[in-house]
Amino acid sequence: MNEEILLTQSGLDALQQEYDYLVAVRRPEVAEHLKEAKSYGDLSENAEYDAAKDEQVQVEERILKLEAMIKNAKVVSEEELTGEHVNMGLSVKIRDTKTKEEFTYQIVGINEADPLNDRISNESPLGKVLIGKKVGDKVEVEIEDGVLTYKILEIFKPE
């Protein structure tokens, strides 16, 4: 996993926080579970030991994944967040030109995306067409049923 991972600063901070928690808290907890399960005797028929080993594997895999993500992270710089153009880390308010419905999304890296909380990936169909556009521009997004057209109303830094 040597691919550059685009993140906002808050996204990188969240990854680092999860990594620190796993290393400082979860890893020792799992080691303690393993130690306790070993004390129950015969490991060949020890369900607690098997469960603790599985838990250890999951924690260690996540730690390795987070290490790689943090190592390959590229944080969008403040200089790129002028608000003149849509960019990762910024929020954008758009209006559906047909229904007149308005939506506000923050554009984030794929690892930070959370559509239920209005955080869309720069790699999503909508995110891709919004990147680089400015207020007043119209963008089209192809969906199964046709094409949606949105007008960019506002670009701003999220709170």
* C-alpha–C-alpha distance, residues 77 and 64, integer Å: 26
Do 150 and 112 reside in the same domain of the chain?
yes
pLDDT of the residue at 147: 93
| Beta strand 73-75 pairing with 5-7 | parallel
Range of the domain at 96: 79-156
Which of 35, 56, 75 is the last residue before a domain boundary?
Answer: 75
* C-alpha–C-alpha distance, residues 90 and 32, integer Å: 43
Do 40 and 109 reside in the same domain of the chain?
no
User: Is this model's pTM higher than 0.85 or not?
Assistant: no
Which of 54, 75, 96 is the last residue before a domain boundary?
Answer: 75
What percent of the chain shows pLDDT beyond 90?
56
Cα 148 from chain centre: 25
pLDDT in tens, 71-100: 988 887 766 667 788 988 899 999 999 999
What percent of the chain shows pLDDT beyond 70?
93
Number of domains in the chain: 2
